[in-house]
Amino acid sequence: MSQVHHSPARSIAAHAILIAWTIVALFPVFVVVINSFKSRKAIFADPLALPVPGNFDLVGYTTVLAQGDFFQYFLNSLIVTVGSLFFALLFGAMAAFALSEYRFRGNMLTGLYLALGIMIPIRLGTVAILQLMVASGLVNTLTALVLVYTAQGLPLAVFILSEFMRTVSADLKNAGRIDGLSEYTIFFRLVLPLVRPAMATVAVFTMIPIWNDLWFPLILAPSEATKTITLGSQVFIGQFVTNWNAVLAALSLAIVPVLILYLIFSRQLIRGITAGAVK
Amino acid sequence: MAQRKAVRWHIPVFLAPAVLVYTAIMIIPLFGTLNLSLFNLDETKTRVFVGLANFATLFGDPRWSQSFWNALANNAWFFVVHMLVQNPIGILLAALLSSPRLRMAAFYRTAIFIPTILSFVIVGFVWKLILSPIWGIAPGLLDMVGLKSLFAPWLGKEEYALTTLALISVWQFVGIPMMLIYAALLSIPDEVIEAAEMDGVTGWSQFWKIKLPLILPSIGIISILTFVGNFNAFDLIYVSQGALAGPNFATDILGTFLYRTFFGFQLQLGDPHMGATIATAMFVIILVGVCFYLFAIQTRLRRYQF
């Protein structure tokens, strides 16, 4: 019977379906990238042709880079994403450790309170967040975005990380205590390194919506100096509505950083989600 | 032992940053929104408490209620398409990926996940290009297989635009159910699978009879995440159809309706109070959905401890 299970026909069918969806998934990305390297005429003449000598043209990239602000947008996105990730992971891990490690009154309640945010999206508070940011003078600063995204990322971080921290061996922590380590040292030196796969999982799921968010940058920080790349590319589309080369080049450039961040974390990702959180 | 009884300061220290940021930026604004929906401006432009009058306007005034029900119905269809297309495809891909001895599994996994990491700006723009009747990658491709007659400007027609956008969103996010189900399938112990094989349960019947019941809780989590995500969707519609959610509001969902109301658009000034009212209505819809899931569905799911 097990021969039936691993028969070549089944395996070919599996590969066929997976290849088909891979093509569907990558085709649009492929179209953007190849056309960003072509001259304007070639884009319209044959959108599916590969860039070859004759139609190869970097005019899109030179336009975008000459525009200058693109680097600023990119930098803003990077600062906001990395900053929010750092705080969401640090604060989330600290809270998760307190909730999973110690017994104290209100433990359950605090856990539930923090988990509420997984189900209720922060966007519904936009009206009041905007008022808060106006009142504290944080409108059009990157700090406003970092604060909002940290709050947005915290519930999932606490939820997933506390599940994982329960699996860290108690003997290890108690051995640390006997050696006279403080609770802070136990957390930072012993526990944090052990939950790295979980941190990577949280990082990916937190990072993607932050990097790609259009809502809060549009509302809280639409100024030229604080635009993120997602908002910036949106502006490129408006500005270059007839300049297809520039739009395609801007979009190709916007794919690269988030892809790199994803690849860095993804090696840990599957290990992370397999090990506990979602069962 | 006496020291044990002392106040354990490290607990509040560990909890404080998360609780403070979360409360200040998320919980207080959320309740601020709920509160704002109970106020409106009187003739002298001063803010006064109006009770539930804004809700009466939203549901009673035909100009408002028509937009609201239109957005809600569109949103429901958007969600149905995701449940019927995205989640089954995600489960199928995960089931194939998790089959033992599959080569290049890591490659497929990464490739299929790539659309998920793209920004809505890219997604909206590239699909508009592909489906454009002028630039014409889709008409060209259909022509190659002799089906050019099937082509229509899908994003421009009232009857197709919403479904087209929902399918684009499915294309983008199918990676998330795939990843979560894949992880759930990998966590099924080998002994369970071996026992099934001993009993002659293999292949698809093994999937239906053994694996699917075991991953039902994960499917439940995915369904509720899809629900929350869909009823908060905004970006894809905004970048591809604009805040007016054309053609003729055919793609208007609650997120775009909220945005237009709160911030205004060409013909209409922004109205924070009605915006907050819509946000509150969304909050109630999501809460009802989540509670329905938690109490009616999740309690009936059987969980297996290995």
Q: Could you please report the per-residue DSSP string of B94-121? A: HHHHTSTT-TTHHHHHHHHHHHHHS-HH
Residues from chain B that touch A124, judged by Cβ atoms under 8 A, are 30, 33, 232, 279-280, 282-283
B89 interface with A at CB cutoff 8 Å: yes
Indicate if A166 and A232 belong to the same structural domain: yes
How far is the alpha carbon of A66 from chain B, nearest alpha carbon, in Å?
21
What distance in Å separates the CA atoms of residue A107 and residue A105, rounded to the nearest whole number?
6
Does A279 map to a domain?
Answer: no
pLDDT truncated to tens, each residue of chain B (306 aa)? 445 557 788 999 999 999 999 999 999 998 888 888 898 888 788 888 888 889 998 999 998 999 999 999 999 999 999 999 999 999 999 999 888 778 888 889 889 999 988 888 788 888 988 888 777 677 777 877 777 777 777 888 888 999 999 999 999 999 989 988 887 888 788 888 889 888 888 878 888 888 888 888 888 888 988 998 899 888 899 888 887 877 888 899 999 999 888 888 777 788 888 988 998 999 899 889 888 887 887 777 666 655
How many structural domains does chain A have? 2
Tokens of A49: 């042709």
* Long-range Cβ contact pairs of B7-15 (< 8 A, separation 24 or more): B8/A102, B8/A104, B10/A98, B10/A182, B10/A183, B10/A184, B11/A98, B11/A102, B11/A104, B13/A94, B13/A184, B14/A94, B14/A95, B14/A97, B14/A98, B14/A187, B15/A94, B15/A95, B15/A98, B15/A99, B15/A110
Yes or no, beta carbons of B183 and A274 under 8 Å apart: yes
Does A260 map to a domain?
Answer: yes
User: What pLDDT, on the 0 to 100 scale, is given for residue B139?
Assistant: 77
Chain segment A77-89, per-residue pLDDT in tens: 999 999 999 999 9
Nearest to A183 among B10, B15, B203 (CB): B10
Indicate if A138 and A89 belong to the same structural domain: yes
What distance in Å separates the CA atoms of residue B224 and residue B220, rounded to the nearest whole number?
6
Query: To which H or E segment does residue A44 belong?
Result: helix A40-45
First to last CA, chain B: 38
How far is the alpha carbon of A53 from chain B, nearest alpha carbon, in Å?
22
Indicate if A32 and A71 belong to the same structural domain: no
Tokens of B89: 């495809």
How far is the alpha carbon of B60 from chain A, nearest alpha carbon, in Å?
23
Q: In the predicted model, is pLDDT for residue A5 greater than 60?
A: no
Does A94 map to a domain?
Answer: yes
Q: In the predicted model, is pLDDT for residue A198 greater than 60?
A: yes
* Long-range Cβ contact pairs of A67-71 (< 8 A, separation 24 or more): A67/A236, A67/A246, A69/A224, A69/A227, A69/A232, A70/A229, A70/A232, A70/A250, A70/A253
Indicate if A151 and A249 belong to the same structural domain: yes
User: What pLDDT, on the 0 to 100 scale, is given for residue B28?
Assistant: 92
| Residue B140 dihedral angles phi and psi, to the nearest 5° | -60, -45
User: What pLDDT, on the 0 to 100 scale, is given for residue B242?
Assistant: 80
Residue B46 CA from chain centroid, whole number: 37
- DSSP-derived letter for residue B150 is G
Nearest to B112 among A22, A47, A269 (CB): A22
Q: In the predicted model, is pLDDT for residue A276 greater than 80?
A: no
Q: In the predicted model, is pLDDT for residue A235 greater than 90?
A: no
Nearest to A22 among B111, B125, B127 (CB): B111
Phi-psi region of A139 (alpha: psi -120 to 50; beta: other; left: phi over 0): beta
What distance in Å separates the CA atoms of residue A258 and residue A255, rounded to the nearest whole number?
6
- DSSP-derived letter for residue B148 is G
Contacts of A213 (CB under 8 A, 6+ apart): A149, A228, A230, B235
Indicate if A227 and A182 belong to the same structural domain: yes
Yes or no, beta carbons of B22 and A155 under 8 Å apart: yes
User: What pLDDT, on the 0 to 100 scale, is given for residue B110?
Assistant: 87
Mean pLDDT of A98-118: 87
Yes or no, beta carbons of B33 and A251 under 8 Å apart: no
Indicate if A52 and A35 belong to the same structural domain: yes
Confirm if A150 and A87 have CB atoms less than 8 A apart.
yes
Indicate if A224 and A245 belong to the same structural domain: yes
Nearest to A25 among B114, B183, B286 (CB): B114
What distance in Å separates the CA atoms of residue A184 and residue A61, rounded to the nearest whole number?
49
User: What pLDDT, on the 0 to 100 scale, is given for residue A83?
Assistant: 95
Tokens 């999937």 correspond to what residue? B207
Chain segment A145-154, per-residue pLDDT in tens: 999 999 999 9
Indicate if A92 and A50 belong to the same structural domain: no
Indicate if A65 and A53 belong to the same structural domain: no
What distance in Å separates the CA atoms of residue B182 and residue A191, rounded to the nearest whole number?
27
Indicate if A41 and A153 belong to the same structural domain: no
Q: With H, G, I as helix, E, B as strand and everything else as coil, classify residue B53.
A: helix
My answer on whether omega of the bond before B247 falls inside 30° of 0, hence cis, is yes
Which residues in A32-62 are b (16+ Cβ under 10 Å) and which e?
A: bbbbbbbbbebbeeebeeebeeebebebbbe
User: What pLDDT, on the 0 to 100 scale, is given for residue A274?
Assistant: 58
How far is the alpha carbon of B5 from chain A, nearest alpha carbon, in Å?
12
Residues from chain B that touch A240, judged by Cβ atoms under 8 A, are none
Higher pLDDT, B84 or A215: B84
Burial class (CB in 10 A: 0-12, 13-18, 19+), A227: buried
Nearest to A234 among B103, B187, B239 (CB): B239
User: What pLDDT, on the 0 to 100 scale, is given for residue B172?
Assistant: 93
What distance in Å separates the CA atoms of residue B305 and residue B297, rounded to the nearest whole number?
19
Neighbours of A183 (CB within 10 A): 20
* Residues of the domain holding A10: 2-57
B236 interface with A at CB cutoff 8 Å: no
Q: What is the CATH number of the domain that holds A100?
A: 1.10.3720.10
Q: With H, G, I as helix, E, B as strand and everything else as coil, classify residue B268.
A: strand
Q: Helices B120-131 and B158-173 sit at what angle, rounded to 10 degrees?
A: 130
Neighbours of A140 (CB within 10 A): 16
What is the percent of chain A where pLDDT is above 70?
90
User: What pLDDT, on the 0 to 100 scale, is given for residue A238?
Assistant: 61
Indicate if A6 and A129 belong to the same structural domain: no
Q: What share of chain A is helix, strand, coil (3-state, %, to 5)?
A: 80, 0, 20
Q: With H, G, I as helix, E, B as strand and everything else as coil, classify residue A124.
A: helix
Confirm if B245 and B89 have CB atoms less than 8 A apart.
no
- Using pLDDT thresholds of 50, 70 and 90, give the confidence band for residue A277: very low
Does A129 map to a domain?
Answer: yes
User: What pLDDT, on the 0 to 100 scale, is given for residue A275?
Assistant: 55
Indicate if the alpha-carbon torsion angle B184, B90, B162, B239 is positive or negative: positive
Confirm if A49 and A201 have CB atoms less than 8 A apart.
no
Indicate if the alpha-carbon torsion angle B195, B197, B200, B201 is positive or negative: positive
Confirm if B128 and B240 have CB atoms less than 8 A apart.
yes
Nearest to A121 among B121, B228, B238 (CB): B228
Tokens 């007659």 correspond to what residue? B149
* Type of residue found at B31: F
- DSSP-derived letter for residue B209 is I
Q: In the predicted model, is pLDDT for residue A266 greater than 90?
A: no
Higher pLDDT, A95 or B287: A95
Indicate if A97 and A33 belong to the same structural domain: no
Which of B8, B9, B13, B14 to probe by mutation at the A interface, max A CB count within 10 Å?
Answer: B14
Burial class (CB in 10 A: 0-12, 13-18, 19+), B166: buried
Phi-psi region of A103 (alpha: psi -120 to 50; beta: other; left: phi over 0): beta
Yes or no, beta carbons of B122 and A254 under 8 Å apart: yes
First to last CA, chain A: 29
Residue in chain B nearest A206 by alpha carbon = B117
Neighbours of A171 (CB within 10 A): 8
Does A163 map to a domain?
Answer: yes
Yes or no, beta carbons of A122 and B24 under 8 Å apart: no
Confirm if A201 and A272 have CB atoms less than 8 A apart.
yes
Does A77 map to a domain?
Answer: yes
- Using pLDDT thresholds of 50, 70 and 90, give the confidence band for residue A1: very low
How far is the alpha carbon of B246 from chain A, nearest alpha carbon, in Å?
17
User: What pLDDT, on the 0 to 100 scale, is given for residue B234?
Assistant: 87
The ipTM of this complex is 0.84
Chain segment B181-228, per-residue pLDDT in tens: 887 888 788 888 889 888 888 878 888 888 888 888 888 888 988 998
Q: In the predicted model, is pLDDT for residue A20 greater than 60?
A: yes
B217 interface with A at CB cutoff 8 Å: yes
- Which of A40, A57, A74 terminates a domain? The answer is A57
User: What pLDDT, on the 0 to 100 scale, is given for residue B157?
Assistant: 84
User: What pLDDT, on the 0 to 100 scale, is given for residue B87?
Assistant: 93
Query: To which H or E segment does residue B39 belong?
Result: strand B39-41
B193 interface with A at CB cutoff 8 Å: no
Nearest to B21 among A128, A150, A278 (CB): A150
User: What pLDDT, on the 0 to 100 scale, is given for residue B305?
Assistant: 53
Domains defined along chain B, listed by start: 62-300 (1.10.3720.10)
Higher pLDDT, A167 or B68: B68
